[in-house]
Amino acid sequence: MKILLHTCCAPCSLKCVDQLRAEGIEPVGYWNNPNIHPFTEYRSRRDALLQYAKAVDLQLVMKDEYGLREFIKGIRPDFDYRCAFCYDIRLNATAKYAAENGFDSFTTSLLISPYQNHELISQAAEKAAQTYGIEFLYRDFRPFFREGQQRARELSLYMQKYCGCVFSEEERYQKRKAADRG
């Protein structure tokens, strides 16, 4: 089975790759994350993924485009819709690439995070699969999240502190500020 694995970052990809390989599936990683901001964060996550992929012999396809303007245009004016838009753009791009390049299916490392909206991710992926006529390989990778994070630390991979978009970074600071006042 030829599967394309959308990779949001190295730490989240670790256990997804391990799990797929344990099932006898050799994934090809796909980097397409125009939501990640600022550019220094984008670059840190991309470079950590390249480092990890090299270490575990994971083939990567890189759509290496910093997409701040397009991302902001896509969520404006409804910033609360940003997560649905973010999942849609990344999973549509993944499904399209998979369908156009002979893959049997696709999945995403987003499915490992307990902090992401799992149901919304799955819905976006199913919709993208239908649009491009390719199978979405659903896996609930969340039980492996903590183990993957620990392994990423052991490998000294860059560990991000927020989801990726500028608004999630803003929320992180707002929560910290509220906790400091509390």
Q: Is 16 annotated as a binding residue?
A: no
Kindly state the tokens that stand for 88: 């849609």
9 is in an annotated binding site: yes
3-state secondary structure of 161: coil
Local structure of 102: helix, strand or coil:
coil
What angle (nearest 5°) sits at the alpha carbon of residue 118, between those of residues 148 and 34?
80
**Eight-class DSSP state of 81:** G
Cα distance between residue 22 and residue 33, in whole Å: 26
Alpha helices in 23-144 (DSSP H): 39-56, 68-75, 82-100, 118-132
First to last CA, the chain: 52
**Does 12 belong to an annotated binding site?**
no
- 83 labeled part of a ligand binding site: yes
Please report, in range form, the residues annotated as the binding site: 8-9, 83, 86
Please report, in range form, the residues annotated as the binding site for [4Fe-4S] cluster: 8-9, 83, 86
